[in-house]
Amino acid sequence: MERSTSVTTQSALAPEQELIPVDKGSAVNSAATEFASDGQPPVDGGLQAWSTVLGGCIAGFCTFGAANSFGVYQAFYTLEGTSSASNISWIGSVQLYLIFLVGLPAGKLFDLGYFHHLQVAGTIIYALSMFMLSLANTSKYYQLFLTQGIGIGLGSGLIYVPAVSVQAHHWTRKRSLALGILNAGSSCGGVVYPIMLNKLINGRVGFAWGVRASAILTLGLLIISNVSMTTRTKHIKDLADAAGHRKRIKEILNDGPFWMTTAAGFMAVLGLYIPYFYIQLFVKVNGLSPNLAFYSLAMMNTSSFFGRLILNYTADHIGPYTVICYVSVISAALVFVMFAATKTAGVILFTILYGFFSGGSASLLPVALASLSKDLSEVGLRIGVGFCVSAFGLLIGNPIAGALLTPDFYWTDSSYSVACVPFSSTCLLTEFGHWLPRWRCSPLQCCGSS
């Protein structure tokens, strides 16, 4: 890039953006030029940016919000005698796993400019799978697994990862806050879906029409989400092509900080969602109030909403890695406490605290992965690869907890997950100390967590 072009670009940016330390002629600087020449609103604000956050928030509401509500299905299928608790948890685990696994091809296609194609395809698969679930026989395990585990999981993956990745087209210094708002949508979904499903499935409406009502709501919201989100520039595809796909993938595969973050993410999610899957069943089998069981998952997700917002806002000021380290240790300690909280007050306190800290832990992983990107053309790929590898923790964690759960619902052995999250925090602490100088020189890290 010529010097005159670089100077023009810097003068066109907002004052605070001129302080961003980028190399002259870098791909990020090139991308900034394209943004300015397109005449679009400044980064970190504007109608398109906030509209995209809103659309992403709705996408999180429908995908992870519904997945976080699997505890309702877990309790319903288990008490209906569909199969063992471990087998049933495979349905929810595969659903979560595919959200992350599909992130790899979805992230790559997003980088190539197929954002809205992915959103439309994901919406169709998701809605169709939900309607098919409403027709399934709850005594036939394979029907539930195919429709809810695989179908909804695939559709959610095509929607969620691009919705997260596109936020990097609009936000730099406030990216953690933007993603916190997006992921707060997951918590809102985790409040609405459990209450709605419990009322419908366990009420007069029944399973079939309860799921259909959920499908209709989800379809309408996903249409609004797709219309609301926009990509920052039409030139990102050209930037990705010019960079060279093979070279970029090789650089990511040899990136130490990236793999340490991914390994830590794997260990974190290995035990992170166990309380979300089992809290409602835990309350019921301990003979506590039916109302407490009814609202326990909703309370956890409500607390998670505030955790995602507050902890992501904090991450914008002290860095995402610092925040993740602390909340991982706290989440681990709370999981250990869960199995001793057999009284009403203890369960309520646990759901509030665990929801708050686990919400922050989950929502900061994509922020950390995106912060390692050298330019916007590899954000989707890094998040996709990181999610893909981390997803194995989601796949095996909850079924292992179910297998450790005895037929008479003895929970103590399931506390194995306590060992997972502290190890994740240890990995992050080691990485943070060793690679901190490099992060401070990374353009997107400086933009995202200053």
Rounded Cα distance between 97 and 93, Å, is 6
Q: Give the distance from CA 40 to its chain's centroid.
A: 28
Across 141-145, 294-298, 312-316, 407-411, least confident range: 407-411
Rounded Cα distance between 172 and 52, Å, is 14
DSSP string, 197-236: HHHHHTSSSHHHHHHHHHHHHHHHHHHHHHHH---S-TTH
Give per-residue pLDDT as tens, 246-291: 677 777 777 777 888 888 888 777 777 788 878 888 888 777 888 8
Rounded Cα distance between 211 and 137, Å, is 13
pLDDT at 377 over 70: no
Across 12-16, 104-108, 365-369, 444-448, least confident range: 12-16
CA nearest to 157, candidates 232, 194, 104, 201: 104
DSSP string, 305-364: HHHHHHHHHHHHHH-HHHHHHHHHHHHHHHHHHHTT--SHHHHHHHHHHHHHHHHHHHHH
Rounded Cα distance between 184 and 190, Å, is 10
220-237 exposure pattern, b = at least 16 Cβ within 10 A, e = fewer? ebbeebbebbbbbbebbe
**Average of per-residue pLDDT across 51-62:** 92
What's domain 45-449's superfamily in CATH?
A: MFS general substrate transporter like domains (1.20.1250.20)
300-337 exposure pattern, b = at least 16 Cβ within 10 A, e = fewer? bbbbbbbbbbbbbebbbeebbbbbbbbbbbbbbebbee
**Average of per-residue pLDDT across 94-115:** 83
Cα angle: 198, vertex 203, 208; to 5 degrees: 80
Across 95-104, 273-282, 412-421, least confident range: 412-421
pLDDT, position 289: 83
Q: Does the predicted TM-score (pTM) go above 0.95? A: no
Give per-residue pLDDT as tens, 174-185: 777 787 788 788
pLDDT, position 38: 45
Give 159 or 360, the one with higher predicted confidence.
159
Give per-residue pLDDT as tens, 198-239: 889 888 888 999 999 999 999 999 999 999 998 865 545 555
Residue type, 87: N
pLDDT, position 16: 35
Rounded Cα distance between 83 and 77, Å, is 7
pLDDT at 417 over 60: no
pLDDT, position 419: 54
Average model confidence (pLDDT) for the chain? 76
Q: How confident is the model at residue 93 (pLDDT cuts 50, 70, 90)?
A: confident
